[in-house]
Structure 1
């Protein structure tokens, strides 16, 4: 610790701070609004996929079987 200013001295130079641009620079509420519009547009155009209960159940079974070490192929 540096006794003069109370900070810790390090050998590494600090990395330059990256400035946020585009989507990352927007406030979170505005990001949500834009994302919401994109989701609505995808559904309206038919490009979004909504899982049925059966599809979700089958996907969950496959995922859990894979995590447990079993080899489950699509049936």
Structure 2
């Protein structure tokens, strides 16, 4: 039997099982376990992990260089330019630099 015919038969069987309600459906726990096993398997290949890390680093570096080049050309972006340094003596009301929500105010 050729591969295409095998695939067609399997596909029909899968559709029939779902129609009858007897097909296996992964629970979130089963899916989590399958993902964990897949992650372990792929991380065993150090060469592969090095390659995807390298590609991610290159992408980040390229994005950083593009943003820096756009800034030097004056193409806007979210950079508003340098901000003046502040110290605690800059506060006119003498309040703490912590806001009511517990976050720093600068």
Tell me the TM-score normalised to structure 1 length: 0.39
Bigger helix share: 2
Tell me the TM-score normalised to structure 2 length: 0.29
Question: Which protein has the larger Cα radius of gyration, Structure 1 or Structure 2?
Answer: 2
Greater RCO, 1 or 2 (C-alpha within 8 Å, sep 6+): 1
